[in-house]
Amino acid sequence: MTASCAYFITGTDTCVGKTLVSSTLLHVLAQNDIRAAGLKPVAAGAELREGVWHNEDSDALAAESSVKLPPELAAPYLFKEAAAPHIAAALEDVRIDPEHIHACYDRIADMAQAVIVEGCGGFRVPLTERFDTADLAQQMNLPVILVVGLRLGCLNHALLTADAITARGLKLVGWIGNVVDLGMPHAMANMEALKARLPAPLLGCVPRMPSALPSVAAMHLDFSLLPGWPVKAAAQSENLG
């Protein structure tokens, strides 16, 4: 089996909702009987539970994946320190190897019909001295979905990120607004400004929720606008109730 669709999820910053969006993509795919798996190439900030190291982001992707992967495949680089990946890696005397990440992706793509790859932080987070997440996305050559954290400064962050994605020869295929700051003034006006300027369709806006539930977030998003998306809009709505 070779994955028929895959997407790279990036964001305007850290803590803007990439994991929620990635988990929601996986949730919708699984609800529609698509064999889907999530890959978090680099995860920083792990805690030991019952003798096993866990990271909230990679655990969230695993929970919504219909293809169950061994942890070392789903999260090839898992670091204890919640810091930039190159710093967390140096603290554990580990060098992040892009070829190893690619090998993990290839193995997952052979097992699943769809693969969701979640980046770390924003689009230009360093992984090594000379290699960052933009380089990784470029080498993987996957269509990109941008998560925009709706707070002051999001216009500049979103437009600069879109420029950086395009500069790497990658296709921005959709963007999603995620309410980070409930008190943000003129949030809808900012959304309209981005709709007029970003070179990709708006897939929806996730409101601030008491808990980050993919099943609820899915109600606010339309993934059928994505190229190669294997689920029709009507089927998504029906299966999610």
- The alpha carbon of 237 is separated from its chain's Cα centroid by a whole number of angstroms, namely 22
Three-class secondary structure of residue 71 per DSSP: helix
What is the C-alpha to C-alpha distance for residues 151 and 154, in angstroms, rounded to an integer? Answer: 6
What is the C-alpha to C-alpha distance for residues 127 and 158, in angstroms, rounded to an integer? Answer: 21
Longest distance between any two alpha carbons in the chain, whole Å: 50
DSSP E strands: which ranges in the chain? Answer: 5-11, 36-39, 42-44, 47-49, 52-54, 77-79, 114-118, 144-150, 172-179, 202-206
Tokens of 188: 């809808």
Amino acid found at 223? F
What is the C-alpha to C-alpha distance for residues 72 and 75, in angstroms, rounded to an integer? Answer: 5
What is the C-alpha to C-alpha distance for residues 134 and 83, in angstroms, rounded to an integer? Answer: 18
- The catalytic position among 40, 68, 80, 171 is 40
Concerning whether 40 is annotated as a catalytic residue, the answer is yes
Pairing type for strands 47-49 and 144-150 reads unpaired
Catalytic residue positions? 40
